[in-house]
Amino acid sequence: MKAKLLISSLLLCAVATQAQNLKSPDGRLECSYGVDNGKPYYMLKKDGKTIIEKSYLGFVLTPYAVQPYTFKNTVDNSDIDFYSNFEQGTVKKTSFSETWQPVWGEESEISNSYNESKVEFTQKNTSKKFDVSFRLFNDGLGFRYEFPEQQKLPHFVIKQELTEFKTADDNTSWWIPGDYDSQEYQYAECKLSEIKANFYKNVRDNASQTFFSETGVQTPFLMKTPAGKFILIHEAALVDYSCMHLEYDPIGKKLVSHLTPDAKGNACYMQTPCKTPWRTITVVENAKELLASRITLNLNEPCAYSDVSWIKPVKYVGVWWEMITNKSTWSYTDEFPNVKIDETDYKNAKPNGKHGATNQNVKKYIDFAADNGFDAVLVEGWNIGWEDWFGYSKDKVFDFVTPYPDFDVKMLNDYAHSKGVKLIMHHETSSSVRNYERCMDTAFRFMKHYGYDAVKTGYVGNIVPRGEHHYGQWLVNHYLYNIKKAAEYKICVNAHEAVRPTGLCRTYPNLIGNESAAGTEYESFGGNNPEHTCILPFTRLVGGPMDYTPGIFEMDLTKLNPDNHSHVNSTLAGQLALYVTMYSPLQMAADLVENYQRFPDAFKFIKDVAIDWQKSVYLEAEPMRYITIARKAKNSDNWFVGGKTGLESRTSTIKLDFLDPDKQYVATIYSDALNADYKNNPQAYTIVSGITNSKAVLSIKTVAGGGYAISFVPATAKDLKSLKKLK
Amino acid sequence: MKAKLLISSLLLCAVATQAQNLKSPDGRLECSYGVDNGKPYYMLKKDGKTIIEKSYLGFVLTPYAVQPYTFKNTVDNSDIDFYSNFEQGTVKKTSFSETWQPVWGEESEISNSYNESKVEFTQKNTSKKFDVSFRLFNDGLGFRYEFPEQQKLPHFVIKQELTEFKTADDNTSWWIPGDYDSQEYQYAECKLSEIKANFYKNVRDNASQTFFSETGVQTPFLMKTPAGKFILIHEAALVDYSCMHLEYDPIGKKLVSHLTPDAKGNACYMQTPCKTPWRTITVVENAKELLASRITLNLNEPCAYSDVSWIKPVKYVGVWWEMITNKSTWSYTDEFPNVKIDETDYKNAKPNGKHGATNQNVKKYIDFAADNGFDAVLVEGWNIGWEDWFGYSKDKVFDFVTPYPDFDVKMLNDYAHSKGVKLIMHHETSSSVRNYERCMDTAFRFMKHYGYDAVKTGYVGNIVPRGEHHYGQWLVNHYLYNIKKAAEYKICVNAHEAVRPTGLCRTYPNLIGNESAAGTEYESFGGNNPEHTCILPFTRLVGGPMDYTPGIFEMDLTKLNPDNHSHVNSTLAGQLALYVTMYSPLQMAADLVENYQRFPDAFKFIKDVAIDWQKSVYLEAEPMRYITIARKAKNSDNWFVGGKTGLESRTSTIKLDFLDPDKQYVATIYSDALNADYKNNPQAYTIVSGITNSKAVLSIKTVAGGGYAISFVPATAKDLKSLKKLK
């Protein structure tokens, strides 16, 4: 990934007098900043209208936890004010513009242009200081605190960050509940002032969850103003810091940052020079522009690796959905009330007869992957320890290298490789992160020995060390440690239950996926709302790709497991749409082999669809309602369109002017049948093929929970003869 | 270390009826047990007289920390009763006797004989159960809880252990304050009922300290009954469990176990089958028998290593005392307000001119070690990071492999090896244990590459992960992980600030030392009481050897550093005594080279004294008052005697009947001069040599804070001619 620097006019103009504002390259966004009664603040306007009102900046610090001399004395927990009595100092202004090429992505080139002000703020009574760097893009603002090296502040502990986001209006908002340990919720839609009343609306049980406030929400946090603008608050480049939530203050009518604390109630342990992640406020005129915004990626550092040849997008199948639906099990036996990794004798244990990761079953998936051009097969439940892996705060829960007796790791890898397929490793940690770190090098060496080059990690349950949270600084540090360590072995990471992505895949592109939201698995745990996949691209996906694991063809899960009465809330055609609308360099065909074999014509789209893109065009978009995207495959003339519909049926009308005007294409449209119904008739779809070109306009009907997918392939002379024009 | 089994009469007699008591092999100790109103209990008598009155056994458990569904609900923290409603089941009785050979120790053979009852207790309402194994030796009782594998109790969390020790009398006791993070206190002496009034008597500041109760004390906890018997409470084989303190209950007049909690307030995460450490009650007629007791070692498992040829006792000097006295520094420069291990540029930093671990200084110590027959040189402050290593809760505080610019790791190791000397590695972790675990393999490989085979570890300051404590299960697990990992590399470990030893050196003899008490360093931090070294052998040393670092010849520390007004509270002769009285396979001559060069005649004893023993004879002993021990060197006919005196001057009178009656010996006596005074004239000593034999009786005067040392070497014909008889 080589950054191509187009313009880089680093015009450093250190101004002694206060420069009070900053404009975006197109001049439409304006950020002003200063000190008001000793409190640093910023404001944001677009076209002269206020988007963010005066919002204050600062921190509450806490002393180092010096132990008491006697337990009669209390520890000094008094807050340290790092938010008032400031004065503004020098402002440094710079401009920057580049185009860079991601290793993988929604497009092959990304433009990155901004104007920047770095503003110095000094606390008068303590002489401690921080700078705030404001970067103003045409589509939004990023700012971060930077703490220069200074004698008065060599190290410090942040108890809370007090960054405010005071919007001008009582915007409509889309959000999930603020939680230190889980993001696996569905989205609520309400006014800011209604958050409290709606807090529990979409709460559901999770293996680890810790709320902090009834007006606490997570980022990316999306709003729509009364004037129809969209505002998105998130963070970029979350490194060695605690993940930021937001808390809505109904009295001050503002959102305030809320950092995930550690076991002692502190958020971040800092050492100058250092900086916070970027706080981002994307401001765009419509939801399509939101999808096209690259602020989060642009605020991350360029790729940290000199060689990225080993990082590849992957389309895969897996021994997974059958466990999620409880058709088969991760565990091998029902004999043991518990397991000790180094002691339990599996060789003589009686198999439960439902184990998913057997040689026979895995070979079936390998054959299917090879026959259909998939790159890889994920296998979960291959390693010992699943009999009591969860809920007991086990320390040594897995060793990541010992297969169950019915999983022949060498034979299966050799078999897969002989067919041009790779196996994907699975490292469920059960959130016992010390154990995982102790095993990590050995586990990665084991992977390389057998030829694995990608791992899906998991962090189910409460964190060990106990008292830490999934989104605290301790774990944020761990996840990146894992990614960097994997890179040493040229291994790609798809981290589930880890902290939500913040664009770090620009810097560490071996982070090829994250979960960090309710994925398809919840279709087996009671179902996702049909509109769920119509909000994720505007929120969760802003930070990085999601391993959503789409492609379920059998919505009636009693067919897989008579005891599972959950229903997949989507039509089959809607599932196909997700391969385009839910961008990811890692795409799974999640359903069972036999379900794909029942619908080979529809399955053809999953086989055909690309997973890496030269260009993306956002055709239709309204959060929670619908989303339609066209994408051109990298190094190919093929285009693919996905259109996903939320709770209300609709007709999608799209102009094909994104196609090459000099070409004719064979279009194949996979769409909901007229009598399709996501609940009662989800498998009713139609497939139509015909010749078309860039001048055409298509209208496609979709039902609630439905959708459609189209492939466009340049037409051959034979096609032009044999196929009709598309109507 | 091959265990030689003399008798092993494992007579398993499972009795359906309750067997209510157990006798020691000599029949003098009697342990009874049973259930009283549903509560399991035990009692202990000696010669028919009660030592421990009816004392109850049990636990408070806590549910797994299931997170709240909403934060309105509270987590279920309700205690789970695992101490009442029990009934007694089967009792299994066995007897055991063996003699085993430690890799190193106070003697070359250790006898281990006991009778055992394993008693089953089942909680009637829950069907959960535990067994208690009682092992009765001639000199005391060990018992532990064993939790068999059971469907009703696959995993559980111990909130507290409720083991009671109800002594029959208000005994005199010797103790240090109960603390989750530090053992570096001096001992108090008072009645049990007076603990509360004396709690703060010996409290002093430590880098990490957490008290839990004003009647909380640590083990080994020593008592003397009105009848003159000694009772010592400690634990043996602390593995994957939390360290036990004791809390005196003044109303119930009993001591109750108190486990070190984690950040969530829970003590131990358990999985059946499992067991607690042994709880030990040594009961002896006098303090000499206490020193001879081997209960703690005997209750540990046999050596875990098949090859122990690489584990050797070590006599060493070091670049250490000069830093402790602040004559020189661990750090290299004063330029940086803080340090980032991967970023700070030391190469261009200005040295502070006081750095201890310089090539020149280390070579001086290597030369001195080689010239005087020492095995090794410890060097602290050799690696980057010391500029801000402590007090800031730094995560990545050291990397353990990067030397300061003035320490040439290859040259110095090569130089040392060319002279038959080894360097000892130093791994100060600053209690950032995740960082240490991440670095550990690399650090050990680095050591082996350069030829180090021993490491001194350190855990100064509050634990990271924050909220964990030095003596909690998390850290107990870490320390053993470190020892086992070191063994993979054939490295010996001397762990400072780690959990107090519990005899694990039997199983893992590469644990060649621990600190776990106030060592000689405190002589530079205000001074240890003169009686301090007269209590440690009866308490702290019961669990394993201490790296006390004796041998200070210059008591006036202003001579080293004009700003250090601390005084070493011992005579020079008293320092020599410690090499015999403070048993350790790892003995340091801690003072500066130049101070030894001033007293070459006295230094000769440190050069001569053995560090591994065939036999030890305890001649005089009274806690806090005095201790005199004779030891025969392993594979040698030489004997050494050490006599240490507390706060009151005295005359030590010892019969030499431990000597071989067929031999004449040259005895060299190093003792306090008549005008010696630990405060005002500590360097006044006399050295007398002469011929003696096993029929002689010696009377040696010692002053307060003083002591003496004697070497006995079989006399040659020449000696017999040239030397006079000792008077």
Determine, for residues B154 and A210 on separate chains, whether the beta-carbon distance falls below 8 Å. Answer: no
Catalytic residue chosen out of the listed positions B107, B515, B521, B523:
B521
Q: Torsion-angle region of residue B497: left (phi > 0), alpha (psi -120 to 50) or beta?
A: left
Other residues' Cβ atoms within 10 Å of the Cβ of residue A28 = 16
Only one residue has tokens 């076991």, namely A263
Mutate to test the interface with A, among B271, B470, B497 (most CBs of A within 10 A): B271
**A394 → closest Cβ in B271, B272, B393:** B271
pLDDT digits (tens, 9 = 90+) for A335-352: 998 999 999 999 999 999
CB B122, CB A361: distance < 8 Å: no
How much is the average pLDDT of B421-433?
98
In angstroms, what separates the C-alpha of B437 from chain A's closest C-alpha? 7
Cβ distance A466 to B264 less than 8 Å, yes or no, reads yes
Q: Is pTM, for the whole model, over 0.80?
A: yes
Which of A271, A433, A435, A481 should be substituted to probe chain B, the one whose Cβ sees the most B Cβ atoms within 10 Å? A271
pLDDT tens-digit readout, B276-335: 999 999 999 999 999 999 999 999 999 999 999 999 999 999 999 999 999 999 999 999
Rounded to an integer, what is the distance from CA B479 to the centroid of its chain? 14
Joined tokens for residue A187: 């989205």
Choose among B627, B69, B119: nearest CA to A207. Answer: B69
Residues A162, A56 contacting (CB under 8 angstroms): yes
In angstroms, the separation between the Cα of residue A607 and the nearest Cα of chain B is 41
* A206: chain B residues, CB-CB within 8 Å: 67
> Which structure tokens are listed for A307?
């060689």
**What is the count of residue pairs from A and B with beta carbons less than 8 Å apart?**
143
A65 pLDDT higher than 70? no
Identity of the residue numbered B137: F
- State the nearest Cα–Cα gap between B463 and chain A, in angstroms: 11
pLDDT for A15 beyond 60:
no
> Taking 70 as the threshold, does the pLDDT of residue A72 lie above it?
no
Report the chain A residue with the minimal C-alpha distance to residue B433. A434
What are residue A511's DSSP bridge partners? A493
- Predicted local confidence at residue B516, as pLDDT: 97
Judge contact between A494 and A586, C-beta under 8 A: yes
Distance CA A614, CA A629 (A): 13
A 10 A CB-CB count for A138 gives: 19
- From the list B68, B151, B214, the residue facing A337 with the nearest CB is B151
From the list B205, B263, B337, the residue facing A263 with the nearest CB is: B263
Q: pLDDT of B52-74, one tens digit each?
A: 999 999 999 998 755 444 444 44
- What per-residue string of b and e applies to A61-84 under the rule 16 or more CB within 10 Å gives b? bbeebebeeebeeeeeeeebebbe
Q: For chain A, how many residues are written? A: 727
Please give the mean pLDDT across all residues of chain B: 95
Do residues B644 and B631 lie in contact, with contact meaning Cβ atoms separated by under 8 Å?
Answer: no
Mean pLDDT is lowest, of A65-69, A206-210, A485-489, B222-226, for A65-69
Q: What is the DSSP letter of A355?
A: B
**pLDDT at residue B11 tops 50:** no
Cβ neighbours of B154 in A, within 8 Å: 337-338, 388, 392
A521 carries an active-site annotation:
yes
pLDDT tens-digit readout, A296-326: 999 999 999 999 999 999 999 999 999 999 9
Stretch among A1-15, B397-411, B655-669 having the lowest mean pLDDT? A1-15
Note the helical H segments in A451-488: 473-488
Q: How far apart are CA B705 and CA A292, in angstroms?
A: 80
Q: Per mean pLDDT, which range of A593-597, B208-212, B497-501, B564-568 is the poorest?
A: B208-212
Banded pLDDT at A205 (limits 50, 70, 90): confident
For all residues of chain A together, what is the average pLDDT? 95
Options A189, A521, A531, A554, the catalytic residue: A521
Helices (H), A5-82: none
User: Which residues does B154 contact at the CB level (< 8 Å), separation at least 6?
Assistant: A337, A338, A388, A392, B271, B272
* Strands B268-271, B172-175: pairing kind: unpaired
**Residue A372 binned pLDDT confidence (cut-offs 50, 70, 90):** very high
Give pLDDT, residue A76. Answer: 61
Strand partners, A621: A627
Model pLDDT, residue A207: 86
Query: Are A338 and B211 a contacting pair at CB < 8 A?
Result: no
The DSSP H or E segment spanning B475 is helix B473-488
> For A232-277, what is each residue's pLDDT tens digit?
999 999 999 999 999 999 999 999 999 999 999 999 999 999 999 9
Q: What is the percent of chain B with per-residue pLDDT over 70, rounded to a whole number? A: 96
DSSP-derived letter for residue B133 is E
3-state secondary structure B101-132: CCCCCCCCCEEEEEEEEEEEEEECCCCCEEEE
Position B75 confidence tier, pLDDT thresholds 50, 70, 90: low
The pLDDT, as a whole number, for residue A203 is: 87
Q: What is the pLDDT of residue B202?
A: 82
**Beta bridge pairs of residue B110:** B100
DSSP structure string for A498-567: SPPP-SGGGT-TTEEEE--S--GGGGGTT---TTGGGTGGGTGGGGS-B---------BGGGT-TT---B
Average pLDDT on A38-55 reads: 97
Q: From CA A685, how far away is CA A603, in angstroms rounded?
A: 12
Tell me the shortest Cα–Cα distance from A443 to chain B, in angstroms. 14
- What is the model's pLDDT at position A68? 40
Q: Which residues of B touch A264 (CB under 8 A)?
A: 263, 466-467
A197 CA: distance to closest CA in chain B (Å): 14
Q: Note whether A264 contacts B67, CB cutoff 8 Å.
A: no
CA gap A557, A564 in Å, rounded: 6
Residues in chain B, total: 727
How does pLDDT run across B95-139, given as a tens digit for each residue? 999 999 999 999 999 999 999 999 999 999 999 999 999 999 999
Spatial distance between the Cα atoms of B299 and B237, rounded to a whole number of angstroms:
7
pLDDT above 60 for A617: yes
Reported as a single tens digit per residue, the pLDDT across B230-269 is: 999 999 999 999 999 999 999 999 999 999 999 999 999 9
